[in-house]
Structure 1
Amino acid sequence: MTPQTSNRWLFLAVISVGLLMISADNSILFTALPALRTQLHMSELEGLWVLNAYSLVISGLLLGTGTLGDRIGHRRMFEIGLVLFALASTLAALAPNVGVLIASRALLGVGAAVMMPATLALLRITFQDVRERNLAIAIWGSVATIGAAAGPVLGGFLLEHFYWGSVFVINIPIAIVALLATFLLAPPNVTHPTQHWDLLSSVYAMIAMTGLVLLIKEVAHPSSIWLALGLSLAGSLAFWLRGRRQTQPLIAFDIFRNRLFSAGVLTALFAMFTQSGVMLVTTQRFQLTEGFSPLQAGLLTAVAALAAFPTSLIGGIFLHRVGFLPLIGGGLSILAAGFFCCYLGAITDTFGVFILGMLVAGVGAGFAMSVASTAIIGSAPRARSGMASAIEEVSYEFGALIAVAVFGTLLAALYTASSGQDASFAEAVDAGAFNHAFEWLLAFAAICTLAGAVITGWLLRDNPKGTAYDHE
């Protein structure tokens, strides 16, 4: 029996387990940062790379691993990704120093980049009915949202009961169980040996992103900023020139002429950027200035996750009735309102208002992100489905990558400006200065998300209710 019949929803659960690990590892270290700074004597810059090495490698490699999956088979890619993830998790859990931990996080990124496109490709193979596929994609998207939001909770729970490496150990049995289930439930592996795979373009993309992260981090240091800018521009130019010479580039930029496709990409970027940034600074603030334990700080993000899950499902179910505009534009507007409510709670020191803001933000994120993936994948021509899947996944990962760089850099800069102290949070923290920086960043997140709502609302002004696949 294949997943195309009665097992297809069970196989979706297996795919979701893999995706849950990938998305949770984006944020699982948010609550662990204070412990890592103390136990591994980690600097702020090293902390940035412990967080960003994972997303950076994923964002760079994802553009190419989708086509590699077409070449050797998506089931095989999913299996390879699970094995790499388990091995990298073992290495990270045993890391004796920061350097090994960063390298392990990069290897985790390789495993995630290999596995992630396969989850979506296998989903599309398994679900042939358009409405079933939209619901399955909504569930897929909600799992990614919940994983990102639940990562700090899981990390906090493990840190309260075990040593810091336990946040990686937990991946090992999950990967093994998912691998065994894949052998039993996955469709047969289908290969296309003639499909072109371009590793060099992925490397150029990674160089460009590395330069961008360094540029954001070193913006206050003129001696380093030019090197970072040159690295980012050189990688971007090399990627663009190589793509122009190829008949099958990793990204054909004319795909963005489709307004529904572009709106989906921007929704993923804006929502993931602001949500990840707020989670990062929230978990830090409540641990460093309010005395919260890692678990207590992580539970704050669970509020948003709980609110996001039902609205994610609702978005997928009612998309064909209400259209993309109210779900994406409205969802981002609700997300912005939630962040503004968190801001009000922070400036008035009213914890209940802050929690209410997290709930509202979760509702908005669920609506918007549940259909963003459908907008991207469904509006692309079938001949470019692999490219669309890669861009969809990169949109989320790039949003998380830039969130850590931007929010981390702004937090340090605002803290230093307010306190007059170097932003080293391993020592005693000036609570007033930190809270002031936190308030500004909540306002910043609300404004960015509202801008995203306006832009996507304009792109979706004719309120499309279907996608290209509905007519093919």
Structure 2
Amino acid sequence: MYRKWMILAIIVLIYLPVSIDATVLHVAIPSLNDALSLSGNELLWVMDIYSLIMAGLILPMGALGDRIGFKRLMLIGATIFGIASLAAAFSSSAAMLIAARAFLGVGAAMILPATLAGLRNTFLDKKERNYALGVWGTVGGGGAAFGPLLGGFILEHFQWGMIFLINVPIIILVLLLTTFVVPKQKGEKTQPLNLMQALVLVTAILMIIYTVKTSMHQFNSMLLLILAIGLSLLVFFVRQQLASRTPMIDFSLLKHPVISTSIVMAIVAMIALVGFELLLSQELQFVYGYSPLEAGLFILPFMIAISIGGPFASLLMNKYQLRPVATVGMLMCAASFWGLAMTNFDTQHIQAWAWMVIMGISVEIALLSSTAAIMSSVPANKATAAGAIEGMAYELGAGLGITIFGLMLSFFYTQAIVLPTTLPVEISVAASASIGEAMQVAQQLDPSLMHSLKNAAAQAFTQSHSQVLGIAGGLFFILSLFIYWALSKQAHKQ
């Protein structure tokens, strides 16, 4: 009995840094800009490479765990995560930090399925397993939600590298405890890994996203070639999955309208959560001069709403059917985006927090209703495959949230900024690319010109942020109509 709860403690301990690392950098953007002189494009890669790599590898790493046992998978994943944390903490360039974050994603893709397999194999009693899963879910959601606050606290007292260094003692402790406490498991040697399929998917995703990001600033025949290769690989991957007897992703599940719609909901909910946090933390620090800790505290109501929104969403799900709950959740998200688009975050604090609470609850409604719908719509023998697809959707949504919101912001910022006419050409080019670059090059100017450039960048960012939030509200409104139509009463009859 004692060993069982010790294993749960180990699982919680290793899962915490994995969930935190998805959002902890949101308040570190100015610090990273100062230390590494990141371009806007490099910043997006630093932020989203972790979730994108994780999304592509999480399914085959789960299969690897079945093959070698979750203990070995956890040890390997934790080791990679620890080494990558050290590399990230001491990165001296954007390329090095992006590579380290990518390897963090590889380690996290191993750790996540290992923790779930550990719970499944350790807690054989259904009631105990549900309790353990509840603890696991709370740690995952809470870690991601409170990542910006933790990042802000660390940056208030230490250099940015400490954000990654705090992972190292946790990893060392986990490795020791796992080695001596967790029993060995027999692996299934016949379990297919699908590793090559995963590499094809990851390569396709990264090539497509690279093309989209880079084409915002320049477009040439080489980018067109990369996009064509990426799309071809994606088509090849889908066709391979449909023809395979042991596919990495069971696309047949997506034929069910409830499941396919719920996957879309999970992705867009994560896009909203991560994208909004990223943009708001930049505005608070770059425009209004908040410290990282002050920015984390400002976002706290949003984090709390996500963390406690689960019980409220559960009540709605128990009382009403999926169709009205999901539709209202998306409408609430649309309304909160529109409300936030018309809010001054520097002076209208109460209004901002109220809209953030509404958004946090609506995001949680979308996440929980999508999970409940998927689990209730698949046969028992397909539950694991469906759950794996949803887990992948969460990580893909987190990566896409950074990409989509970041690119929209970059486009509107470039269009909105009105630069002082006396700026040198090379400084004008950098300043019009992103607010981070504008703040960097402003340090090279005399005080009066520096002040003018910072004001121009701040005004352009605020205007762009409002435009992005307004467009997001419109897209969520359209999505709510789509969900109402897609989740027909016939499709959701219970």
The two structures have a TM-score, normalised by structure 2, of 0.84
Cα-to-partner distance string for 1:20-79 (whole Å, 9 max, x where unaligned): 322221221121121111211222222222122212211221231122222122333233
Identity, % of aligned positions: 33
**Is 72-81 or 373-382 further displaced after alignment?**
373-382
**Is 220-229 or 276-285 further displaced after alignment?**
220-229
1:28 and 1:152 in contact (8 A); partners too: yes
Structure 1: distance between partners of 2:188 and 2:290: 52
Give the letter aligned to residue 75 of structure 2. Answer: E
Deviation at 1:132, TM superposition (A): 7.0
Quickly say closer, same or farther: Cα 1:342–1:204, change in 2 above 3 A. same
Structure 2: distance between partners of 1:241 and 1:50: 31
Aligned to 1:443: 470
| Unpaired runs of at least 5, structure 2 | 420-431, 440-453
| Unpaired runs of at least 5, structure 1 | 467-472
Structure 1: distance between partners of 2:259 and 2:130: 15
Aligned to 1:222: 219
Structure 2: distance between partners of 1:129 and 1:464: 30
Aligned equivalent of 1:45, options 41, 45, 53: 41
Structure 1: distance between partners of 2:127 and 2:472: 33
Aligned to 1:333: 331
1:274 and 1:448 in contact (8 A); partners too: no
Structure 2: distance between partners of 1:211 and 1:43: 19
Aligned equivalent of 1:426, options 418, 437, 454: 437
In the alignment, structure 1 residue 300 sits paired with structure 2 residue 301? no
2:208 and 2:227 in contact (8 A); partners too: yes
Quickly say closer, same or farther: Cα 1:145–1:191, change in 2 above 3 A. same
Structure 2: distance between partners of 1:11 and 1:321: 36
Deviation at 1:93, TM superposition (A): 1.0
Structure 2: distance between partners of 1:394 and 1:135: 23
Superposed, 1:2-21 pairs within 5 Å as 7=4, 11-12=7-8, 14-21=10-17
Structure 2: distance between partners of 1:394 and 1:251: 10
Quickly say closer, same or farther: Cα 1:109–1:119, change in 2 above 3 A. same
Structure 1: distance between partners of 2:384 and 2:418: 50
Structure 2: distance between partners of 1:211 and 1:419: 30
2:14 and 2:171 in contact (8 A); partners too: yes
2:241 and 2:251 in contact (8 A); partners too: no
Aligned to 1:232: 230
Structure 1: distance between partners of 2:196 and 2:298: 41
Aligned equivalent of 1:176, options 172, 175, 187: 172
Superposed, 1:141-160 pairs within 5 Å as 141-160=137-156
Aligned to 1:392: 390
Secondary structure at the aligned position of 2:215 is classed as coil
Quickly say closer, same or farther: Cα 1:315–1:13, change in 2 above 3 A. farther
**Is 142-151 or 293-302 further displaced after alignment?**
142-151
Deviation at 1:368, TM superposition (A): 2.5
Structure 2: distance between partners of 1:328 and 1:264: 9
2:145 and 2:306 in contact (8 A); partners too: no
**Is 307-316 or 190-199 further displaced after alignment?**
307-316
Structure 1: distance between partners of 2:462 and 2:409: 10
Deviation at 1:261, TM superposition (A): 2.2
Structure 1: distance between partners of 2:137 and 2:243: 34
Quickly say closer, same or farther: Cα 1:77–1:320, change in 2 above 3 A. farther
Secondary structure at the aligned position of 2:191 is classed as coil
Aligned equivalent of 1:95, options 91, 94, 104: 91
In the alignment, structure 1 residue 25 sits paired with structure 2 residue 57? no
Structure 1: distance between partners of 2:129 and 2:372: 9
Deviation at 1:356, TM superposition (A): 1.1
Deviation at 1:13, TM superposition (A): 5.3
Aligned residue pairs: how many?
462
Structure 2: distance between partners of 1:58 and 1:434: 30
Deviation at 1:112, TM superposition (A): 0.5
Deviation at 1:440, TM superposition (A): 0.9
**Is 450-459 or 397-406 further displaced after alignment?**
450-459
Aligned to 1:470: none
Structure 1: distance between partners of 2:346 and 2:96: 43
Structure 1: distance between partners of 2:399 and 2:184: 34
1:61 and 1:113 in contact (8 A); partners too: yes
Quickly say closer, same or farther: Cα 1:454–1:116, change in 2 above 3 A. farther
Give the letter aligned to residue 222 of structure 1. Answer: F
Cα-to-partner distance string for 1:208-252 (whole Å, 9 max, x where unaligned): 111221232133333154134213212202312432442101122
1:135 and 1:316 in contact (8 A); partners too: no
Structure 1: distance between partners of 2:341 and 2:168: 38
Aligned to 2:267: 269
Aligned to 1:105: 101
Quickly say closer, same or farther: Cα 1:163–1:29, change in 2 above 3 A. same
Structure 2: distance between partners of 1:113 and 1:353: 38
**Is 71-80 or 357-366 further displaced after alignment?**
71-80
Structure 2: distance between partners of 1:184 and 1:260: 44
Structure 2: distance between partners of 1:450 and 1:131: 39
In the alignment, structure 1 residue 309 sits paired with structure 2 residue 307? yes
Secondary structure at the aligned position of 1:423 is classed as coil
1:138 and 1:315 in contact (8 A); partners too: no
1:322 and 1:465 in contact (8 A); partners too: no
Structure 1: distance between partners of 2:75 and 2:314: 28
Quickly say closer, same or farther: Cα 1:21–1:448, change in 2 above 3 A. farther
1:150 and 1:301 in contact (8 A); partners too: no
